[in-house]
Chains A and B, each alone.
Chain A
Amino acid sequence: MHASRPGKRLLAAVVSAVGLLFGLGVWQIVGQRDPVLFATPGRSAEALLVLTEEGSLPSALLASGTLLVIGLILAIVAGVGFGLLLSRAKLLRTSTDWLIFAAQSVPIVALAPIILSAFGFGLPAKSLVVFLTAVFPIVVNTAEGAHRVPTTLLEVARTYRSSEWHLWKDLLLPHTVPYAMTGIRQGIAMAFVGTLAAEFFLNASGVGGLLLAASTNFDSATVLGLTLLVSVLAVGLMSLGRAVERYFARWRAVEE
């Protein structure tokens, strides 16, 4: 298995490169046929360059980045914390299970305007939207991991008269972290959606604001360019999350 891994990685890289080129090719063809709805990749890149030169893109990225990071950090802290708490408090878990699943199925994006108007359209209100979109996968995955702590290991801890502190340090945390990281990765993807949604309404700002403005002007070059830029950033951040997840799960027998 170990011998073939670099080979597999290379193959995966080649396949994704081919896919990317194919996608760009299709985009180019469609763009040439219908230049109004679909700007070509070249024109999209140009549009991004213009935005960068006039300074609106860097400042938008900074604003959106701040919002994303604040919301995401809050979601990670609260999500992991609450998820872990659920593992040790059976009553809390059974009584809030349905609530979490109910909350998770609510499209936060649709509620964004209400949340924003209730909390004042500023950074706090927008961070709340990001927080709410990102927090649920983190809670659910963390709680799932904490819930699946093997009973044998709990018994091992009991027979060695483990203190609560050692129980967390030696068993609950190491077991749960990989699950939490899976949740955080999903949370990162959701946070991007939440950030753009939070920026769309009333006092549009950041990358979401630029997107909205370009979209209203039928400026497809900017819209496509920005969309792609956001995707690239999201993929980058998620790869980072995956790397952290791998690190914490290095004791696992099989890597995907």
Chain B
Amino acid sequence: MELDGLTMRFGERTVSRDIHLTLDPGRVLAIVGPSGCGKTTLLRAVAGLIQPAVGTVRIDGQAVTRTPEGVAMVFQHFGLFPWKTVEANVAYALRVSGVPKKAALERARELIRLVGLVGFEKSYPHQLSGGMQQRTGLARALAVRPRLLLMDEPFGALDAQTREVLQFEMLRIWQDHPVTMLFVTHSIDEAVLFGDQIAVLNGRPSGIAELIDVSLPQPRDRSVLATAEFLAIRERVWNLIMTGQRD
């Protein structure tokens, strides 16, 4: 995936200017920045939901005009169909791409097992906690075996505890099923935890303040939170964001 000189505008207002980023297969790129810095807007451009004012998004060399095949997105507010059960929500991803019902349901149950929702297949979203709803959202995105997974503040709408539980759960899942990931978050910890590389956005209109390589060893789990390198990167990202805030 490649962002080539992206400038995003909302009407007259320029949100971010001249963004260049590349993401190689199998890697995780985290975009972090203060709220309102346009990181979600960038992600939506990658998904083909909006078009950049200037520049091009390319995925496997193809310019993106609508969501390309094999690109799945996890939404901050889950984006589940309230009238569909957990299993139907997960199967939806496959049903729309033409997979027969039986095969889609089978694969959906596999994913439901993976995200730890066995026993809730027939529940409706309103009967589930936020964490369980996002597990469903995750299962739906993974069901299509995406070549690129877009995470839009996936744990941002959850309470602190659920958020942590899901972060480490997601790390575990990612280790077993590695997938190229673009991870947008305002949580610095989350960015360092998931990213092979972190793009720090700041300023108004925002630009990339710095691109930081994270050389924390894989697989990662809770124990990395206490390592000196984790704390050092965390501090660096924090300072970058704060510098941008002051001006």
Kindly state whether residue B178 has any CB partner on chain A within 8 Å.
no
In the complex, the answer to whether B81 meets A174 with C-beta atoms within 8 Å is yes
Q: Once the chains are docked, how many angstroms separate the CA of A251 from the CA of B97?
A: 25
Which secondary structure dominates where chain A touches chain B?
A: helix
Contacts A252-B126, A253-B126 given; does A161 touch B77 at CB 8 Å? no
Give the nearest-CB partner of B69 in chain A: A161
User: Can you list, as one digit per residue, whether each of B117-155 has a CB less than 8 Å from chain A (1) or not (0)?
Assistant: 000000010100000000000000000100000000000
- Interface positions, chain A 142-167, Cβ under 8 Å from B, are 152-153, 155-163, 166
Which secondary structure dominates where chain B touches chain A?
A: loop
- Chain B residues lying within 8 Å of A97, measured Cβ to Cβ, are none
Chain B nearest Cβ from A223, distance in angstroms: 46
Q: Once the chains are docked, how many angstroms separate the CA of A163 from the CA of B47?
A: 17
User: Can you list, as one digit per residue, whether each of B214-240 has a CB less than 8 Å from chain A (1) or not (0)?
Assistant: 000000000000000000000000000
Q: Once the chains are docked, how many angstroms separate the CA of A252 from the CA of B92?
A: 19
Q: Once the chains are docked, how many angstroms separate the CA of A154 from the CA of B187?
A: 27
Contacts A153-B79, A251-B82, A253-B126 given; does A159 touch B96 at CB 8 Å? no
Chain A nearest Cβ from B133, distance in angstroms: 12
- Chain B residues lying within 8 Å of A251, measured Cβ to Cβ, are 82-84, 124, 126
In the complex, the answer to whether A161 meets B97 with C-beta atoms within 8 Å is yes
**Cross-chain contact of A155 among B69, B79, B81, B82 (Cβ < 8 A):** B79
Q: Once the chains are docked, how many angstroms separate the CA of A152 from the CA of B152?
A: 12
Interface residues on A, range: 10 to 19
Q: Once the chains are docked, how many angstroms separate the CA of A153 from the CA of B84?
A: 12
**Cross-chain contact of B67 among A158, A166, A253 (Cβ < 8 A):** A158
In the complex, the answer to whether B96 meets A152 with C-beta atoms within 8 Å is no
Give the nearest-CB partner of A162 in chain B: B96
In the complex, the answer to whether B97 meets A160 with C-beta atoms within 8 Å is yes
- Chain A residues lying within 8 Å of B97, measured Cβ to Cβ, are 160-161
- Interface positions, chain B 53-88, Cβ under 8 Å from A, are 66-67, 69, 71-73, 75, 77, 79, 81-84
Chain A nearest Cβ from B40, distance in angstroms: 12
- Taking each of A156, A158, A174, which has the highest tally of chain B beta carbons within 10 Å of its own beta carbon? A156
Kindly state whether residue A126 has any CB partner on chain B within 8 Å.
no
Q: Once the chains are docked, how many angstroms separate the CA of A37 from the CA of B159?
A: 67
In the complex, the answer to whether B66 meets A158 with C-beta atoms within 8 Å is yes
Q: Could you list some 30 contacts between A and B, CB below 8 A?
A: A152-B77, A153-B79, A153-B81, A155-B75, A155-B79, A156-B79, A156-B81, A157-B96, A158-B49, A159-B47, A159-B48, A159-B49, A159-B73, A160-B67, A160-B72, A160-B92, A160-B97, A160-B144, A162-B96, A163-B96, A166-B95, A170-B81, A170-B84, A171-B81, A251-B83, A251-B124, A252-B82, A252-B126, A253-B82, A253-B126
The residues of A with any CB-CB pair to B shorter than 8 Å are 152-153, 155-163, 166, 170-171, 174-175, 251-253
